[in-house]
Structure 1
């Protein structure tokens, strides 16, 4: 499951689940302004920064009992 980080790793700008953000394949997370300054290249791994998919809510908020059970089994 994609980890939705709460802030930009470069400038610490807050990033809500629905905010636009950019990530690399290692889930390094940057705000749009920092991503542009970095020319959409991750400074940590040199990978491409791509648009992070938005979420309306955390998967554990208002999740179905079946989904919660599956998560609990995975996270153990």
Structure 2
């Protein structure tokens, strides 16, 4: 099964790179429970599902993930 590519590669803290929607989903689910259970990350997962299941806008998912991953 071919994985959908993000429009632009995401570079996160510590040089981690997310190049696929699947990679972004795995990154979010591997976060500590308190963090990935936060409303912001749940919104990011919903955006990824929208792209994966309904061919939604990849740019929206990318922006949501970038905003969540920014250091506070």
* TM-score normalized by the length of structure 2: 0.28
Higher strand content, 1 or 2: 2
Q: Which has the higher contact order (CA 8 A, sep 6+)?
A: 2
Query: Normalised by the size of structure 1, how large is the TM-score?
Result: 0.27
